Structures are given as C-alpha cells and as structure tokens.
Amino acid sequence: MEGIYQHFRAEEHAFIDGALEWIVQVEDQYTPRLTDFLDPRQRLILESVVGGYENIEVKFWGGVNQAERRRALIYPDYYEPSEADFQITLFDIRYPVKFTTLTHQKILGTVMSLGMKRDIFGDILTEKEEWQFFVMAEMKDYVSLQLDKIGKVNIMLEEIALDQALPVHTDWQYEGTTISSLRLDLVVATAHNISRQKAKQLVQGKLVKVNWKTVENPDFECEENDIISARGYGRVKLGEINGHTKKDKIRIEIGYLR
C-alpha cells in the first residue's frame, strides 16, 4: 500500500497512516470500526485506501443521504451494516427567535470555544430561522450539558429523529473562465472577483481553507475537485481543468453553491 501516498498531498499522509491503522484493526479483530465525522476529502482518501484490500469494505453515513460530513464504518465484507451502526444523533436548537439571529459561524465558533473537536459534529443544517446539527451519539450527553448558550444567547437542545432533519442544499453550478496559474491566491481572486492582493491577504491571514484545512501559503497549487472557502466570501469548487488557450491561459470551471 506504500504507493497510495503518491496520489495525495504530503499533508494528507498522516490521515492515510490513520486509515491504515483502522483497516488493520478490522482485519485483526474481525469487527467493524466506526470513525468520527469525515469531510468529503477524507472520505475520498479512505475509500482509496480501503480499495486496496480484498476483504474490507467501507460505508459512509451522515444522518441524511446528502450530508457533507459523514461517519465511516469500515467492516469485514461478510458484515451487513445498518444506519444504526453509525450512532448519529440529531439535535434541534431551541432559542428566542424574536430576539437573536443564529449563524453557522456563531454555532461552530461556540462549539470550538468549548474545546470540542469539529470531528464529533456532522452537518449544521438551517432553513429560515430553524437550526439543527448532527453529533456522534457517544457524545450527545456531554454536548447537551456543555452547550447551553450560543454567544450570549441561552439555548436548549432537543434530540429529534433523523427523519426530521432539514434539507441539505448542495447544488453546484459551474462557470467557465481562464486563469494564468492554479496558485491559491489567484484562484480565490478569480472565483470571488477580488484583487489578487486582497486574496493573498486572506490566505496569509489564515482565512482560506482548501478541502477543510487552513492553508497559509498563497503559492499553494490547487487541483481539480478542491473545495476552497474564504471567510466572508463563501465556498467554491474547482471543477474541470480543460487545457490551455493559445495565450497559455488555463481553462477552468468554478462551481458555486446556489
């Protein structure tokens, strides 16, 4: 399996090491191994690693089919997994709607300030003034005790059935453009129609993530299917890279969530 490393970036090798340990554990103990919530890039890597083993399978579930963040169940091929194996709880956030406004950033910021890892939480869902989030069932009691405020606002968490989850919106719409290089600062500038200097400041200010990981180097080389988020500007997806123009510009597609 050593050859798997060459297909991924150096900063992703530690995750590959962890994935290999999980698989060995499943092989040795003949029992499934459930992970924390993984982002789409981590799932892609894990799927690639598991693909190198004949008798090991992996399945993902995040509480709903369209979830961005999902837990992985790695299991021997004779095992038949069910949704219950993924141990996911859905909380509805009760708060004084008339007196405050919640945001994804406020909710996530509060959670992180309490010392809870992002990996124990799945998607944060919203529709109009309603907010929900998924969490590892093993941590639901702890989260219920710790999370009684978001910012300065008192809240209550109500556990509800997974089939009451709000809809997940993940519809990418692509626009074609050209770019002189795939440097991160240039991709951010092009995607959001801002100056390259402004994009560079965002990157160096630790305000840009590629595949859910903060990247501080403006020279970072982007690749097809990278998810790039810049705080205050939203998220884009680098689609197909379609060769060069006569002036040696790179033809790319940039996806926007609509």
CATH number at 157 reads 3.30.70.330
Same domain, 62 and 108: no
Q: Which residue has the tokens 């406020």?
A: 106
Report the CATH number at residue 202: 3.10.290.10
DSSP codes joined into one string, 76-140 = ETT----GGGG-EEEEEEE--TTT----HHHHHHHHHHTT--GGGEEEEEEETTEEEEEEEGGGH
Q: Which of 130, 164, 198 is the last residue of a domain?
A: 164
Say whether both 151 and 192 belong to one domain: no
130 and 74 co-located in one domain: no
Check whether residue 157 and residue 179 sit in a common domain. no
Of 164, 181, 200, which residue constitutes the final position of a domain? 164
Indicate whether 150 and 181 sit together in one domain: no
> For the chain, what is the domain count?
3
Q: Is residue 184 located within the same domain as residue 246?
A: yes
Tens digits of residue pLDDT in 12-31: 899 999 999 999 999 999 99
- φ/ψ (deg, to 5) at 8: -135, 160
Same domain assignment for residues 41 and 74: yes
Q: What does the pLDDT profile of the chain (258 residues) look like in tens digits? A: 567 888 888 888 999 999 999 999 999 999 999 999 999 989 999 999 999 899 999 999 999 988 999 999 999 999 999 999 999 999 999 999 888 888 887 898 888 888 888 899 999 999 889 999 999 999 999 999 999 999 888 999 999 999 999 988 767 889 999 999 999 999 999 999 999 999 999 999 999 999 888 899 999 999 998 999 998 888 899 999 999 998 899 999 999 876
Could you tell me if 111 and 72 lie in one domain? no
How far CA 51 is from CA of 48, 57, 67, 69, 174, in Å, comes to 5, 8, 22, 21, 30
Q: What is the pLDDT of residue 141?
A: 96
58 and 101 share one domain: no
Residue 63's nearest CA partner among 170, 162, 164, 166 is: 162
Question: Of the residues 121, 136, 164, which one is the last residue of a structural domain?
Answer: 164
pTM: 0.79
Contact present, 72 and 34 (Cβ < 8 Å): yes
**What is d(CA 23, CA 26) in angstroms, rounded to the nearest whole number?**
5
Q: Looking at the structure, do residues 13 and 43 belong to the same domain, yes or no?
A: yes
143: closest CA among 93, 101, 191, 179? Answer: 93
Q: Which domain holds residue 26?
A: 2-81
- The predicted pLDDT at position 79 comes to 96
- pLDDT tens digits for range 123-178: 999 988 999 999 999 999 999 999 999 988 899 999 999 999 998 876 788 999 99
- Based on the domain organization, do 195 and 250 belong to the same domain? yes
